[in-house]
Amino acid sequence: MTEQREASSEQLMQAVAAGDLGAFEEIVLRHQKQAWGVAYRFLGDPHAAEDVAQEAFLRILDAAPEYRPTAAFRTYLVRVVTRLCLDYAEKKRPVLADEPPDTVAYGPSPADQVEMVEREAAIQDALKTLPPNQRMAVVLRYFEGLGGAEIAGMMNISAKAVERLLARARESLESKLAPFLKD
């Protein structure tokens, strides 16, 4: 077990390909929060995000024998989640949450919490108005911190196309989120 915690995700995937389900469990533990986060930011629905994240891990498990560590596992995972989210958006208009998940009892003041909830709701409302490709580009760039080349690879488009998607999305979001933008 200690060996698995010290192994890279890429090494763990090679162990999964050899039939080690303990290695797969370690991969899920390491990356489930990120998979859910990408899906939630895109879909806005915590339950749908959970379904997408689970489906992503199932697909990764099924594809383990063909896995080749040509890129970081994180890139591979986000690419799978990205594809599932875009497929979901094509098949069904996403149902976004009215409110973000409950916040913890300690931390920001009640006034700050109200402002955060309003800001999160405004962001989710603004994001759901974007076309799916623009929305995914925004999620990957601004919420996951990925670069243009990584996004291009995950979305199977050119880096220039990513720049155009982000520019159009920023233009659209700017007017919708103006009250939340600080001078």
Coil vs helix vs strand at 183? coil
Read off the tokens for 174: 């700017």
d(CA 105, CA 124): 23
> Of 140, 124, 30, 122, whose CA–CA distance to 85 is shortest?
140
| H-helix segments, the chain | 2-6, 9-17, 21-43, 46-63, 73-91, 110-128, 132-138, 148-155, 159-176
Does residue 6 register a pLDDT over 90? no
Q: Alpha-carbon Rg of the chain, whole angstroms?
A: 18
104 CB-contact burial (10 Å; exposed 0-12 / middle 13-18 / buried 19+):
exposed
**CA angle 127–83–164, rounded 5-degree value:** 50
The pTM for the full model equals 0.65
d(CA 39, CA 74): 14
Q: Can you name the CATH fold of 2-180?
A: Butyryl-CoA Dehydrogenase, subunit A; domain 3 (1.20.140)
64 CB-contact burial (10 Å; exposed 0-12 / middle 13-18 / buried 19+):
buried
Does residue 164 register a pLDDT over 90? yes
Does residue 94 register a pLDDT over 50? no
d(CA 163, CA 137): 9
Tokens 């994001």 — which residue? 127
Region 134-162: mean pLDDT is 91
Does residue 63 register a pLDDT over 50? yes
Region 64-92: mean pLDDT is 87
